C-alpha cells in the first residue's frame, strides 16, 4: 500500500510556508522547529550556556544522542529541569538505527500529547538526530524517506544522515507501512466484528419480541 493511502490514518503535515525561513550558516549551531513542538539541533543548543534559550522556547523534553566515547562532553546538562531520553548511537553507517525509532516516537509523542516541546540533538545535529527525526516524521505523517528528508531539510538545511542511516530509513518505509496496514486491518476487523455482533443481537431481539411479529 503506497504511503499516500495512509493519509486518512495519519496526522496532517504542517505546511512549509508556516515558519519557513532563509537558511544561513550560523543557524547550524542553533535548533530549528521542524513541526510544532519538535526541534532539531546540535549539542551546542543544549549546553549549559543555553538553558535560558531552551526555557524561552518552552522546551520540556530532550533526546540526547551520543555514543559512549562522547559521554564526557555530550550529556544531559539539566536533569532536574528537563525530561531526558539518552540514546547510545554511533554515527557510523553500520549502526542499526531502526530499533531506536519506536522509543523515540513514544518519547516525542508523550511530550507533544502533554503540550510539551522536545529538542532532539546529537553532536552536530545533522546525522543521528536528523535520521531519528526523519523517521518520526515518516511514520507520523505517512511519508516516504525522500519526502520526509526534504521536509526536514527545509527547516534545517544542513542535515546529512550518513549513508547507512539513509538506506535504513528507505527500508523503514516498508516496515512502518506494513505495521500501519496491520493496524488498519485490525481496526477494520474489530469494527466489522462489533457491527456483526450488534446486528446479530438486534436480529435476535426482533425474533423474540412479540410486537415485531404483528
- Cβ count within 10 A of residue 111: 22
User: Which CATH number among 2.40.10.330, 3.30.1370.60, 3.90.190.10, 3.30.420.40 corresponds to the domain 3-177?
Assistant: 3.90.190.10
Please determine, for residue 62, whether its predicted confidence score (pLDDT) is greater than 90.
yes
- At 153, list the grid cell: 531539510
Q: Of 141-150, 175-184, 205-214, where does mean pLDDT reach its minimum?
A: 205-214
Q: Measuring CA to CA, which residue among 64, 77, 69, 173 is closest to residue 129?
A: 64
Task: Answer yes or no: are the C-beta atoms of 92 and 164 closer than 8 Å.
Answer: yes
- Cβ count within 10 A of residue 142: 24
Where exactly are the structural domains of the chain? Answer: 3-177
Please tell me the predicted confidence (pLDDT) of residue 179.
82
Task: Answer yes or no: are the C-beta atoms of 65 and 125 closer than 8 Å.
Answer: no
Task: Answer yes or no: are the C-beta atoms of 172 and 100 closer than 8 Å.
Answer: no
Please determine, for residue 199, whether its predicted confidence score (pLDDT) is greater than 80.
no
Rg (CA), the chain: 22
Cα 27 from chain centroid (whole Å): 22
Q: In whole numbers, what is the pLDDT of the chain averaged over residues?
A: 86
Q: Are strands 38-41 and 32-35 parallel, antiparallel or unpaired?
A: antiparallel
3-state secondary structure of 70: helix
- At 74, list the grid cell: 555530550
Helical axes 128-141 vs 145-155, angle rounded to 10°: 120
Amino acid at each position: 500500500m503506497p504511503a499516500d493511502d495512509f493519509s486518512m490514518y495519519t496526522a496532517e503535515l504542517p505546511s512549509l510556508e508556516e515558519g519557513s525561513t532563509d537558511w544561513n550558516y550560523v543557524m547550524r549551531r542553533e535548533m530549528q522547529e521542524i513541526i510544532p513542538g519538535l526541534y532539531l539541533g546540535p549539542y551546542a543548543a543544549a549546553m549549559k550556556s543555553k538553558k535560558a534559550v531552551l526555557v524561552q522556547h518552552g522546551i520540556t523534553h530532550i533526546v540526547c544522542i551520543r555514543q559512549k566515547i562522547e559521554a564526557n562532553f555530550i550529556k544531559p546538562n539539566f536533569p532536574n529541569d528537563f525530561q531526558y531520553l539518552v540514546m547510545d548511537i554511533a554515527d557510523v553507517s553500520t549502526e542499526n538505527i531502526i530499533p531506536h525509532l519506536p522509543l523515540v516516537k513514544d518519547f516525542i509523542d508523550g511530550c507533544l500529547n502533554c503540550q510539551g516541546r522536545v529538542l532532539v540533538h546529537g553532536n552536530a545535529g545533522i546525522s543521528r538526530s536528523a535520521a531519528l527525526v526523519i523517521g518520526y516524521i515518516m511514520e507520523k505523517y505517512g511519508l516516504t524517506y525522500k519526502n520526509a528528508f526534504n521536509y526536514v531539510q527545509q527547516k534545517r538545511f544542513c542535515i546529512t544522515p550518513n549513508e547507512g542511516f539513509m538506506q535504513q530509513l528507505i527500508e523503514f518505509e516498508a516496515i512502518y507501512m506494513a505495521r500501519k496496514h496491520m493496524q488498519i486491518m485490525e481496526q477494520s476487523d474489530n469494527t466489522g466484528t462489533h457491527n456483526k455482533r450488534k446486528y446479530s443481537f438486534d436480529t435476535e431481539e426482533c425474533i423474540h419480541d412479540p410486537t415485531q411479529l404483528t
